[in-house]
Chain A
Amino acid sequence: MTRRAPMATRGPRGPVTTRRTVLRGLGGLAVVGASVGVLPLFGQEGAQQDPAECRATDRSEEDRLVVVSNWPGYIDPRRDAGNTRALLEERTGMTVRYTDDVNDNAEFYAKVKAQLGSCEPIERDLMMLTDWMAARMVSLGWVQPIDRASVPNLHANLIEPLRGVAWDPDLQFHAPWQTGLTGIAYNAAKTGEIGSFSELLDDPDLKGRVTLLSEMRDTMAFALKITGADPEDFTQDQWDDAVDRLRKAVGDGQVRAFTGNEYIQDLAAGNIVACEAWSGDVIQLQFENPDIKFVAPEEGLALWSDNMLVPNGAEHQANAEAWIDHYYDPAVAARLAAWVNYICPVEGAREEMEKIDASLVENTLIFPDAEMLAQTFAFMPLDDRQATAYERDWSDVTGG
């Protein structure tokens, strides 16, 4: 009896099928209507913040800790006696909590965007990001200013070429961690000397055996150079030309892939014979395979840095500043440079290097000379809208 009850109440209102159809129609309309009402609620607020409002109370005094996020393989290992981190802990009595969770600027940005964009802490006191991303985060107001008085070594010892960058000329927000050059690496056992970026794009012997870097600014700087533009100051037309030039090389099958650090494996395995490369990686690879060469292309060398930044909401800012000052001590910087093999941004580290590893003192990829620095260039600062438009062109090229 009871089982039939619901049917009975429905019965008198008319034939079941019609009612069902009507209900279904109404239900559909309701869903569409609700969707139309709900969708606009999914907008996104701007992520720009004011660092002064997103400052956390500094707990450095009672909590002797500093939390650091860095790229993999970018610091001397803990197991080494007298490593730079142990030295800092010894000097200051603080504990270093170190994670190598920065693999890619864009990826790291995506990871922290939700928190930093809404003034929430990311539970880190220092993060290392490349110039363009550091500039972006500073302009978004996600980075705390560094107290000038707490980092005397930084202001005294930063090498001249890295001073006065457009996005933070007074070192108010950043301190370079390591600096590198983008150039060309090739395997001398497989190919003759390669002197220029345009050879990478044109030489038929290299077809399909070349990789370029997937960081837009690295690769496009060279594409701009070979189409006759200045990567530090170019127009939309020049950009379009450079993009077309690269698109042609990709379409012809000249370029095998756009990579991050993976080019190291491909170069070592012989899948590629030449590539656009970062200086420090190549020095590390040369220890295992002396045939791998790094050259400054005719077009010049792109100079970039990865920078230490204190994110909003950092609870141990004073400790982070102690970290920065520590790594700008020339003796510490030399020890670090001896391990990571990138360009050392600290004046006086070269003299200290004599005591650690004399063979590295003359290495211009760690301590570049004036002649080398004269060939370097950087990339034009882009505003947000330009960056999105250019990155989109870029992903069209790299995406076939």
Chain B
Amino acid sequence: MTSTAGVAPPVDVPGLPAEPPGELPPPTGRRRGGIGYLLLLPGLLWLALFFVVPFYSLVATSLYDPAGSDFRGYEMTWAVGNYVDALQEYWRPLLRSLWYGGLATVFCLVLGYVLAYAIAFKAGRWKNLMLVLVVAPFFTSFLVRTLSWKLILADDGWVVNTLQVLQVLGDDGRLLATPVAVVAGLTYNFLPFMVLPLYASLEKIDPRLVEASSDLYAHPAVGFFKVTWPLSLPGVVSGTLLTFIPAAGDYINAELLGSPNQRMVGGVIQSLFTDANDYPAAAALSMVLMVLIVVMVLVYVRRAGTEELL
């Protein structure tokens, strides 16, 4: 990159007469700025091409005249009514997505915290192996793993049969095509996104701080809530974000493990785009989902604080 002609001039200033020889040249504002911007350039171009342009295209699509069609084409007519229509018709799957995503995040946090804690403090020489096991599911495709849950939870499968024998489920009871299966699938699929950041921040905690708390006669539980938990908060914040955002937008789990009554907003957007060819409604719904999540994340991050993130 730096060898191209257009880039060379701002960098090429080794012979400034004022500089005393042998001393490092003082970083001039111009040079630092120039290099900084140059380094930013590839990333900015990438973002402009693959984020800003598609984003504008999505916003424009959501404001298309809904009377358009593939035959006649579409015009951007500031049709704000698309948003009203989309919200009126699809508020149910929209709320359901946030609800399922939230539930899955809570379950992931509870399960993931215990697991990450065990790996960070109790695993000893098994630490690396356990970390590998956490990541191992990523070696197979997301779709295949979700489909295999369909086999495990099948109506005639051993899980359902066992639960029926134990009277947890009625004789006609089932797991597939229920909210339980969908939330369980989401929890399973996004658990590693929770465990890894939690582990990273738990692992950094100096064990002497916990020892100090017990030296000061703190009960282990008090020690945990006064020392370990606050110090692990950055992991909690990034873990919940990494789990909630994709879980709320996911629709594979709802589509494969749920019934039409568990459908999430991602599935609705997909079918509006590809089946109904109703691009304006689909784009408006995508925008609503995006804005909702951004607002929720902003509020959450403001309250939780980002200074110590990562």
Contact = CB atoms under 8 A, between A and B. Distances in A.
Interface of A: 2-3, 5-6, 35, 38-48, 104, 106-107, 109-110, 113, 117, 139-140, 208-209, 216, 250-251, 253, 255-258, 269-271, 384-385, 387-388, 391-392, 394-400
Contacts of A269: 151, 154-156
A3 B70 contact: no
B155 A270 contact: yes
Contact of B69 (A43, A255, A385, A397): A385
15 contacts: A2-B28, A6-B29, A42-B56, A44-B64, A46-B71, A113-B70, A139-B71, A216-B275, A256-B259, A270-B154, A392-B278, A399-B267, A400-B93, A400-B262, A400-B263
Nearest to B270: A395
B124 interface: no
Contacts of A208: 174, 177, 259
Nearest to B254: A400
Given A255-B260, A256-B177, A45 B73 contact: yes
Contact of B281 (A5, A387, A392): A392
Given A2-B28, A39-B59, A399-B93, A106 B274 contact: yes
Interface string B59-71: 1110110011111
Given A3-B26, A395-B276, A400-B263, 19 more contacts: A2-B28, A6-B29, A35-B56, A39-B63, A44-B74, A46-B70, A48-B72, A253-B261, A256-B259, A269-B151, A269-B154, A271-B176, A385-B69, A388-B69, A392-B278, A395-B271, A399-B90, A399-B267, A399-B271
A143 B310 CA distance: 55
Contacts of A394: 275-276
Contacts of B90: 399
B276 A258 contact: no
A43 B72 CA distance: 11
Contact of A42 (B76, B267, B268, B273): B76
B187 to A, nearest CB: 21
Interface in B121-169: 151, 154-156
B14 interface: no
Contact of A400 (B60, B67, B260): B260
Contacts of B57: 42
* Closest 5 pairs between A and B when the two form their complex, measured CB to CB: A42-B60, A391-B276, A46-B73, A270-B156, A44-B74
